[in-house]
Structure 1
Amino acid sequence: MKSRFFSSFKRPRVIIPLLIIILGAGGYFTFFRGNGVAYEVVPARILDIRQEVSVTGRVEPIESVDLAFEKGGRVRAVNVKVGDRVLAGAILMSLDNADLFADRDQADADRKAQQALLDQYRRGTRPEELAISEAKVKSAKSAVGDAASNLIDKISDAYTKSDDAIRNKVDQFFLAPRGTNPQIAFSLPDSKLKSELEQERFAIEKMLVSWSASFAATEADILGSLLEAKENAARVRAFLDKAALALSTLTPSGSLSQTTIDGYRTDVSSARTSVNTALTNLTSAEEKLRIAEANLTIAERELELSRAGKIPEEIAAQEARVLQAEAKVRSAEAAIAKTLIRAPINGIVTEENTDPGETAAANTVMVKLLSASGFKVESFVPEVDIAKVKEGNAASITLDAYGSDEVFEARVALIDPRETIIDGVATYKVTFDFGKKDERIRAGMTANVDILAEKKEGVLAVPLRAIKTKNGTKYVEILGADGKTILSAEVETGLKGSDGNIEIVSGITEGQSVIVFSKSE
């Protein structure tokens, strides 16, 4: 093998190219020997100096969006698939929203009714319109009656649930619960809590008796009964909370099994849920009654206006009602919009995460779009190089997908002022815009970026390794004309090139032989 390696140099076809390479190199680097020292010498030459910063980045779309529903629900329709191109405003997905369309239609109908009423105000009242107003009052009174009956039912239900919670669920672990001195049937670690529960059980019994006796006056004083029901149910809830706390401290004993304890806890938990539900139902029923009463007031006022005729101030008030109705329509339409995912940009669907019939959670990404307008490169430049980079700098980009021969022109578009720590090193995100659109570019490709930070043409330069420093002064060593004398020349340097050369501002002239390296033989 060795003989074949060296024999290859004996052939003319190998020797001639090799000599050409050596002689070519000799045009720039020259080696001298003298006084037992070998010198590597290079002439100071006029060159173009380019300072470049090289980084690696990633191709990103100029704009990308993750889209989600603003509210959760069952998916009704999926109108796109991965790879589809969509236009801004296109509906990509929708949830079941028939009820919202019904609400919107109802709001729109109310708007039209308010507008018609305004038109009536402006032209005067007709007998037929008086009849309509009277019918509205009648309907509103009926709604108030229904809401009042519903509230009475909820007051009764609150009593029933409270009574069951105390006399059926809690009284299981009380002795003589309805007597004057109810006692918990077991000991508790917290004697104070036990005493409070026993005293409160006695007080609640009196409350339940009084509450039951007051039902006869509920219809006559529905708001008073409502207030009483809320206070009593809240008192029962507080008592149940204490009871649950007491039961949580129990441990099995000879007279109290774990099964019994678990049964007590389950019953009290169920009672708490039931009473909480009763309180919620009271609030809801109260709100419905208030709304019905407000609607009745409005209907009665409208009837009065119809009978009395409208003054300018009343017409203005009706105009305000029309505006309010229009606002409700817009609100209903906004609710519908929350069940739709629309494309905010022209783009390409890159991800679609659901199918019709599935349940979508609010704010969970359902669709991803990439902008169809182009791509950019994002990279992170270390802090040691960031001062060299300026917005607007030209850059050359190669993509691993197409090799180093395919160069894409670009420029520095943005430098993030905030640092990003990567592996303990401060870096700054730099964004590059491609010079022109190219269909071959894809999101996610690895990009190798050379940033032209600065360039000087036709300046005197030497290799950077020829520069020496002593006491803060930069100098080079020059080989004299005799090939033996070594002279030192103080120099002022300028731009450092990425090719290993550095600009010489002053100190030597073109053609002078600068020592790059010396070694004793």
Structure 2
Amino acid sequence: MKRKLLWRLSAVVILGSVVLGACAVARPGARGSDLAVETAPVTVLTAVEAVETSGAVAARQSATLSWKTTGYVETVNVKVGDRVKAGDVLMRLDIDTAPQNIIQAQADLINAQNALDELLNPTELQIANAEKAVADAQDQVEKAERAWRRTAAPDVAYYQDQFNRAQQNLTAAQQNAEITNFQTSLRNAQDALENAANNLKKYQDLEAQYPGYGQQHGNVLENAQKAYDRAVQDYQTALYNFEQAQARNANAITDAQKSLDTARANLEAAQRGPDALDRARAEADLAVARARLAEAQATLDELRHGADPDDVRAAEVRVQVAQAVLDQLVLVAPFDGEVLVVNYQPGDAVVQGQPAVVVADRATLQVEAQVDESEIGQVTPGDEVTLTFGALPGVTLAGTVGLVNPVGEAVQGLVRYTVRVDVAAEAADPRVLLGMTADVSIITDRQAGALAVPLDAVQLDDQGEYVTRLTRNADGTPRRERVAVTSGLIQDQRVVVRGALTEGDTVLIASAEAAQAAGGFPFGGMGAGRQP
């Protein structure tokens, strides 16, 4: 690593510069101070101090996209060099070849979305069902309250009345079982069947004794047969109805007997007085009924006035979880950029974790450079940076220091720090490729309006650094005067100085021999000058 602000330490270099811009004067027999000299004006410039380094060009945003599941590639929507937008689908897997959990996620996503939609947009049917649920729950609360009150002070008269009614119902059921219309219908059908059978037998006997008898007497045998068939059918219908009635009557008697037993038990319990266990059970039943009513009412309120935000968030999370699983089927561009690598084609079997697509934004570049610990203190975020490229003569990019890593790294005994240079977006050049080596110049100081003189104009004697200013006396004769200066930054062949000088003053540039004859040394000779 090198810096621009290097002082010329060799007097030989100074001697080589003496021949430039000859305004030299040589007078035979002159004194040492009058030996060959040059003159130069004091100028004003903007002095710049910089730290020089280098680094590789990289995209500020780059991503290597890999598959998080297995399967076969269905579509590839990009090729190397394509520009993509954030959110563009680059590749897609065939869902039929994906693992079962991803296939299931498709159904889970539909269900989760439907559930969320029901929360946010309830239908009239949902509201009607919720209203019915509230009414049913209210009815259950009222019943539970009555039961609870009865356990506190049993109404013996009420239970006696219930017992009496149960007895009456049992008696009525028993009587209905004894006398029914179906019994009468069955007896009538039996009588009609017997008559039809006797009549049919009579004509069968006559037909056997006198062949053709039936036809000769108006088809009496055929008519008798039809009458018998109808009588059989009527009997079977009457018998079925009778049996069904018997079953119903038996069920009615059984139900009535059960109701009587329950009424008797309730009456006996009421006559015994309040029961602690019944009381506790009734209180628990009442608490459950009230809780169900509150839940039903809350559901109805949510449908009418909007769902609970917590429920909505939970439903949204379920949608997001299912979508995240399903998103494993696609690779999506994470930002605007350019496709650099495509490793799969349709029909390929993918390998989980293997890079599939590489995307980078070449419009936003950066360079990471190493700066020595002796110079890192001069570098701060925001410093201006100039980038040049050995591979691209004439191409210069502007940038700024974006980050200085506070943790150094020892490399061959030297501690160096990583500095990230962000290239200005408007300065991007398509000729600059990723991985190119950039020469980095970090501007650490800038002095506008600084006075500067040629390097060889500054001399050093026992009193310190000075320049010789050339002026004229009142009579017009030349006059030289010593002006003390302090040297600063070196800019090419000039050095910044501070002292009693003004822009346009003329200073002398002496050779090494002349300076020594005058008792001094030219700037840079004999170890003179300062390191900024």
Instruction: Using structure 2 for the length normalisation, give the TM-score.
Output: 0.47
Q: Kindly name which structure, 1 or 2, has the bigger radius of gyration based on alpha carbons.
A: 2
